[in-house]
Amino acid sequence: MARFKLSIEYEGTRYSGWQIQKNARTVQGELASALGSVLDTTDFELYGAGRTDAGVHALQQIAHLEAKTMLAPEILRRKINDELPADINVLGIRKAAPQFHARHDAVSRSYLYQISRRRTAFGKRLVWWIKDRLEVDRMRAAANLFAGLKDFRSFTADDPEEKSTKVHIEQIEIREHGDLILIRFVGSHFLWKMVRQVVGVLAEVGRGKLSLDQASAFLERQSDQPAKLTAPPSGLFLERVYYEGDEKLEILEPVMAVASEPRQ
């Protein structure tokens, strides 16, 4: 048996998330099917760095594969891609140490969220279009509230009684690019639906419908309000999974540019 590290990109629109589920089409399920065809066996382990929800995309998901094969990594990559649908692509495969674990060895992760301030013919599946005017400076001020080690029990569908809801957010960066608002989250880990619920609150602050004090209160006492404001999965991308020694991305760029709408 040999262990490999896989880098994978996918558009999640057609899938019920990363993880294999019964009676649902998933990214891991498609990869496992492709691997079964290439390796002519189901005797392998495929484990991702983390789950992504239904409709969420990945610019670089990481997985480890343990399998018996004589194929060189690049040949294996090409053969797997030949079996995959067009919206899933293996970017790279390389041999990994026998003890490498895609999830347990990760030290941090980054997510990108794209909000479009105009209707777009091309990027509907990759953005959240918000018609209302958004004050980006107010959103940045609200984002600062979430930096550091905070209790995100109001921002997750996870059960606080079963799992710690404390998360260390290293950075939330917000940048304007044409008619896009890009939001990058970097943190140790993320709870179920946490990023989308924080984005929903930031958008509500940007609309002027929530004050900074109201947003801050969600961190101080449990509230079901963030769940009601959950941003759609279309705009969310798992951007990177970081391991010891990896350099963090510095430039914040859109997945697909949405040009500024011509002004009359």
At 95 the three-state DSSP class reads: strand
| Given 40, 43, 53, 137, the catalytic residue | 53
Q: Which residues of 232-245 are buried (b: 16+ CB within 10 A; e: fewer)?
A: ebbbbbbbbbbeee
Residue 218: its H or E element: helix 212-220
Name the DSSP letter for residue 203: H
Contacts of 256 (CB under 8 A, 6+ apart): 122, 123, 126
Whole-number Å distance between alpha carbons of 48 and 50? 5
Instruction: Verify whether residue 53 is a known catalytic residue.
Output: yes
Strand pairing category for 128-129 and 106-116: parallel
Q: Could you tell me where the beta strands, DSSP code E, fall in the chain?
A: 2-10, 45-48, 57-67, 88-95, 106-116, 128-129, 148-151, 166-177, 180-187, 236-243
* Burial of residue 99, with CB atoms counted within 10 A of its CB: 0-12 exposed, 13-18 middle, 19 or more buried: exposed
SS3 243: strand
| Cα separations in angstroms, 31 against 45, 56, 225 | 11, 16, 37
Residues designated as active site: 53
